[in-house]
Chains A and B, each alone.
Chain A
Amino acid sequence: MLGFPARRPEADDDSQQSWRENWAETPLVPAASVAGAALSVVIAIMTFLAALTASFALLLTQASHDWRGQVGAEMTIQVMPRPGRDLDADSRKAVEIVASFPGLRDARALSKGQSEELLAPWLGAGLDLGQLPVPRLIEVRRDGSKPLDEIGLRSALAAALPNANLDNHGAWMQRLTTMADVVVASALGVFALVLTAMGLAVGFATRGAMAGAREIIQSLHYVGAADSFIANEFQRHFLRLGLRGGAIGGGAAALLFFALGALSRQWTTSAGGEQAEAMFGAFALGWDGLAAIVALSLGVAGLTGLASRVIVHRSLRALN
């Protein structure tokens, strides 16, 4: 149509390659910008916080499951001292009765000295407890793979040993379960709050980063780019920013947990460390924790891309 002068570049293979690379390396949305870098930082920080919260929630859930499992797997038989009864013989008899019931793995009778040691934290060390009627305790461990006839066991004990009673830790279990549920619900609540804050922060930061993109959207629109093409270009760009921020934040959270896990393994040799591990479990990030962090990082990247897409479409609606 136009009377253009005839001219064809005689490009060799090398120059063709450089043209292609030059072209391919130039995205339609500028790759580097202050707003984009700031958005990546916001995403990294929010992903880090959300990943920490999620990991702690998972650790607490796992720890509470362990508490319940440990307490529920054990029972205790108390043999009370009565005039005319031999506590050692009664304890042996209780162990024999336990051994005859399926669904129980083993029973261990605590000696008089061991029973008195259990009172030391409350009564103090060095006291002569020989004159006190200290009951004997028998630790019984359940075999989870077989059913237990608990009523039968109680009846057998009551028939043979009127001074013995069986404690299945039910009352303690109920309180522990309530406490564990509250702790887990609190952790999940905090996680939900952090997740909401993350969504809002990323949404606003994306909108801020898109403020300078209006001219690009208009230019692309008026040179004939389809709305979906423009939206895809921006979504790809912001998805990349989101993935970068998510990888930094999620990676930092995972590294922190690995570091805490290494430290906690050293602490467990101390009494305080043992108690902390009993309460909160080991700081070991399992596959579920890692999966949660990866899912969070991918989710925040997806959210960023989606937010940019919505903003582009809103701008284009105004132009149309």
Chain B
Amino acid sequence: MVRFENVGLRYGMGAEILRDLTFDIAPQSFQFLTGPSGAGKTTLLRLILLALRPTRGLISLFGADSATLDKNALMALRRKVGVVFQDFRLLDHLTTYQNVALPLRVQGKDEPSYRAEVLELLDWVGLGQRLHVYPPVLSGGEKQRAAIARALIMRPELLLADEPTGNVDPQMARRLLRLFQELHKSGTSVVIATHDLNLMDQFEGARRLVLGDGRLHIYD
């Protein structure tokens, strides 16, 4: 699904901040990406999303070499990837329902054709009663769940979540983890970037990708 071979990244003429990254993300897998703050977790997620170009090495996404992709092909691949951003990136002038339906709306689909699906998903993440509430009124956990629902509405094959439990209490963190586990069971590959050890301990079967000193250590 995702393959990195000897990938390195530097900004400008500076030293490499990520080097010699070689790993795979298999279909229907679950992994935590961890490491200290500033280790490059978000940067690695952006590389997987092809929002950054590596300075060296090969990245392939769904079998396609990232170096040979044109803009349209890149967009088509990105649509197979759901992303939950650390800062949620919900649009404040849209309601919860509208934010979650946004990926379908931008595809030009008619609202009645996806309404039931969006409502189901919002129920599933526990926001069925918060459909018409705007993000500034939502709590941190509600925003996080809305962001997760938005990432899932396109039924992605791969979900990338950047510190999804960073703004919620431990109880909400466990609830969010259960959401990701259910998603994983349904066939989606999940990558969760976190430095929350308690969260990782709750899912011991998950693979751990640990970033440190710009290198990646894998614990299957």
> Which A residues form the contact surface with B (CB < 8 A)?
1-9, 11, 16, 19-20, 22-23, 26, 28, 30, 215-216, 218-220, 222-227, 229, 319-320
- A7 is contacted by which of B74, B108, B116 (Cβ under 8 Å)? B116
B155 touches A2 (CB 8 A): yes
List the B side residues contacting A229 at CB < 8 Å: 106, 108
Minimal Cβ-Cβ distance residue in A for B53: A320
- Chain A proximity of B175: nearest CB distance (Å): 16
- A215 is contacted by which of B71, B89, B111 (Cβ under 8 Å)? B89
B152 touches A2 (CB 8 A): yes
In the complex the two chains form, what is the Cα distance from A5 to B150 in whole Å? 17
B106 touches A19 (CB 8 A): no
Residue B119 at the chain A interface, CB threshold 8 Å: yes
Residue B171 at the chain A interface, CB threshold 8 Å: no
A-B CB contacts (within 8 Å), total count: 85
- Chain A proximity of B110: nearest CB distance (Å): 9
Q: Which B179-220 residues sit within 8 Å CB-CB of chain A? A: 182-183, 185-188
Given contacts A7-B120, A223-B106, A226-B75, contact A16 B112 (CB under 8 A): yes
List the A side residues contacting B141 at CB < 8 Å: none
Looking at chain B, what size class is its interface with the partner chain?
A: 35 or more
B98 touches A227 (CB 8 A): no
Minimal Cβ-Cβ distance residue in A for B182: A3
A222 touches B89 (CB 8 A): yes
In the complex the two chains form, what is the Cα distance from A260 to B78 in whole Å? 61
B102-120: contact bitstring with A at CB < 8 Å (1 yes, 0 no)?
1101111001100110011
List the B side residues contacting A11 at CB < 8 Å: 115
Q: Told that A28-B102, A219-B90, A224-B106 touch, could you supply 10 new A-B pairs with CB distance under 8 A?
A: A2-B186, A3-B186, A5-B123, A7-B119, A19-B112, A19-B115, A26-B98, A28-B91, A219-B91, A223-B102
In the complex the two chains form, what is the Cα distance from A216 to B186 in whole Å? 31
Minimal Cβ-Cβ distance residue in A for B112: A16
Minimal Cβ-Cβ distance residue in A for B150: A223
In the complex the two chains form, what is the Cα distance from A6 to B116 in whole Å? 10
In the complex the two chains form, what is the Cα distance from A155 to B108 in whole Å? 84
Query: Could you list some 5 contacts between A and B, CB below 8 A?
Result: A3-B185, A4-B124, A219-B89, A223-B150, A224-B154
B89 touches A23 (CB 8 A): no
- Give the 8 A-B CB pairs with smallest separation, nearest first: A225-B106, A223-B103, A30-B93, A4-B120, A224-B79, A219-B89, A2-B186, A23-B111
Residue B7 at the chain A interface, CB threshold 8 Å: no
In the complex the two chains form, what is the Cα distance from A216 to B94 in whole Å? 11
Residue B121 at the chain A interface, CB threshold 8 Å: yes
Residue B83 at the chain A interface, CB threshold 8 Å: yes
In the complex the two chains form, what is the Cα distance from A225 to B75 in whole Å? 8
B78 touches A224 (CB 8 A): yes
Minimal Cβ-Cβ distance residue in B for A317: B71
Looking at B79, B108, B120, B123, the one whose CB has the most chain A CB atoms below 10 A away is B120
List the A side residues contacting B108 at CB < 8 Å: 229
In the complex the two chains form, what is the Cα distance from A16 to B108 in whole Å? 19
Residue B51 at the chain A interface, CB threshold 8 Å: yes
